[in-house]
Amino acid sequence: MSRVKTASPVILENGCYSSFFCYDWGMKRLQEFVESQLSKGRGYFTKPDGLAATGQAPEAFQAAIARLKRKGSIVSPRRGFYLILRPEDRALGAPDPARWIDPMMKFLEVDYRISLLRAAAFHGSAHQAAMVFQLIAPRQLPDIELGRQRVAFLYQASDTFAMTNRSEWLDQLKTDAGYAKVAGVELTLLDICRYFHEAAGINGAAQAVYDIGKNSDARILAKAACAYENSAVRRLGYLLERYGHARQASALRPFARKAKSFKPLDPSVKPIVPELAGNEERNTDWKLLINVPVEIDA
């Protein structure tokens, strides 16, 4: 009579006697770690922190992460960085980026500043509805889309970024999860007039200048403007003057005097009929061709 051989239990990593038990054990440890992060007010964690806290092998950790993703408990805006979704976050697909952008950028080891429309709203531009969370960074990074939350990265050359991203020219955006770097009002205005095509066009830039231009420090504007293209500075100067912020506009006049040629207010707009090129209004003070109408909500 032949005997039926039974396999001896195989002891796996962490003392587990079966892969199923290890999987269940790993999920429990990861879930406990996630809950501990939330109890500390942290809605995020990194892969190194998770591995250290759970004691799992990388393969088991990734399997547990995949299960939490399928359950809708976490999402990952960047590889190795995870966001914990509270019930109120799930409709949008992720928490407000202001709550996690600073720790994510520290994890990526990339400096940044929140700017353009989100920064304009922070400084009091009530007309600005920022549908996209926009950052300036010294590296080219892919945008992030998590459900209805969108984060866009705008590149600024590293030497220029180093000149502008000075602590005294930045503010802090406070959230229940901590602080995030946001462009001061002067950098916000300069960024918007440099990247206006990403800020609801020339009208979006004009609206921000109208709303918050009076809050800018003329001396800081003049210093920070040295790092920007002359045409962007002239665009800002023209809009500041147009909306009655004379003191701030005067600080930028030296840049206009250095200009050697006229530039269009909106370079992306070309005349429908080529023969009409050159017929635009010429603003000699700012050496700009006013090639588009500018409209705001006063």
Q: Which residues of the chain have pLDDT under 70?
A: 1-26, 128-130, 271-279
pTM, entire model:
0.86
pLDDT for the residue numbered 183: 98
Look at residue 24 in the predicted model and tell me its pLDDT: 60
Confidence at residue 4, expressed as pLDDT on a 0 to 100 scale: 38
Per-residue pLDDT at 1? 42
Q: Within a 10 A sphere around the Cβ of 143, how many other Cβ atoms?
A: 13
The pLDDT assigned to 278 comes to 56
267-293 pLDDT per residue, tens? 988 765 444 455 678 999 999 999 999
CATH of 13-89, one of 1.10.10.10, 2.30.30.230, 1.10.150.120, 3.40.50.300: 1.10.10.10
> Taking the domains of the chain in order of start, what are their residue ranges?
13-89, 97-257
Residue whose entry in the numeric block shows the structure tokens 């949008």: 92
